Amino acid sequence: MKTKKVYVYRSFERFWHWLQAILIMFLSFTGFEIHGNYTFFGFEEAVRYHSIAAYMFLILIIFAIFWHFSTGEWKQYIPTKDNMVAQMKYYISGIFKHAPHPTRKTVLSKLNPMQRLVYFGLKIMIIPLSVISGLLYIFYRYPQSYEIKIISVESLKVIAVVHTIAAFLLVAFLVVHLYLITTGETITSNLKAMITGYEELEIDEDEEVQIKEQAS
């Protein structure tokens, strides 16, 4: 089986990935300031910037959902049991012993079983939880306003706790993701691939034909 530099990550995929990462980091930074952990922008400005970034994140999610379904890329995130145990053992111990990777990355299967499971949970649980609780937080009703009346100040505490839990889960995902970036063929290979779109992969003849058909 030969190796070839393959166009793995399309332009919108890379744009969406980097903008999402920037927005999550900025939302985390302003969100924890709102919680009083430190002072940088000041409370009122932090709230304003946090709300603006939240709307940008929501718009990006809408475009990303459309792109994933229009291109069929949503299939990349469907969990599978194949090689799941082997992948777990690799991350627990094999990776530190320079063991061979138990799964092979292809254009049609970019994610290993563990990544599929984590990203699936991120997309159907953590991000929706963060977005929905955030919107409820934005539109809760002050006594003098005309927002969503059922969401009163009394129910705000629960919404705030849920939103904070979702934020911690997103930060935890980001930290693990940053670490796993360094576990490619070289410490920077995964990073370069998400910048240029190209990655050196092992491919067989059938995959090479499929790649050519997609490019044409």
pLDDT tens string 133-145: 998 888 775 554 5
Query: 192-197, long-range: CB within 8 Å, 24+ apart, which pairs?
Result: 193/8, 193/9, 194/9, 194/14, 194/17, 194/18, 195/14, 197/7, 197/8, 197/9, 197/10, 197/11, 197/14
Average pLDDT over residues 140-166: 71
Mean pLDDT of 16-41: 94
**Best mean pLDDT range from 26-30, 108-112, 202-206, 210-214:** 26-30
Provide the mean pLDDT of the chain. 86
> Mean pLDDT: which of 100-109, 122-131, 154-163 is highest?
122-131
Q: How many Cα neighbours within 13 Å face the side chain of 64?
A: 16
Query: Looking at residue 33, what is its pLDDT?
Result: 95
Is it the case that residue 215 has pLDDT exceeding 90?
no
pLDDT tens profile 49-92: 999 999 999 999 999 999 999 999 999 999 988 889 998 898 88
Residue 201: enclosing H or E segment and its boundaries?
A: strand 198-203
pLDDT band at 186 (very low <50, low <70, confident <90, very high): confident
Q: CA 82, CA 77: separation in Å to the nearest integer?
A: 14
pLDDT the model gives residue 1: 57
User: Phi/psi of residue 8, each to 5°?
Assistant: -95, -45
Report DSSP letters for 35-62, one per residue. TTS--SS-HHHHHHHHHHHHHHHHHHHH
- Judge whether residue 155 has pLDDT over 70: no
Mean pLDDT over 21-30 rounds to 95
The letter for the amino acid at 185 is E
- Report which DSSP code applies to 184: S
What pLDDT, on the 0 to 100 scale, is given for residue 92? 87
DSSP H or E stretch at residue 202: strand 198-203
The class that CATH gives domain 2-215 is: mainly alpha
This prediction's pTM: 0.84
Q: Which residue has the higher pLDDT, 11 or 98?
A: 11
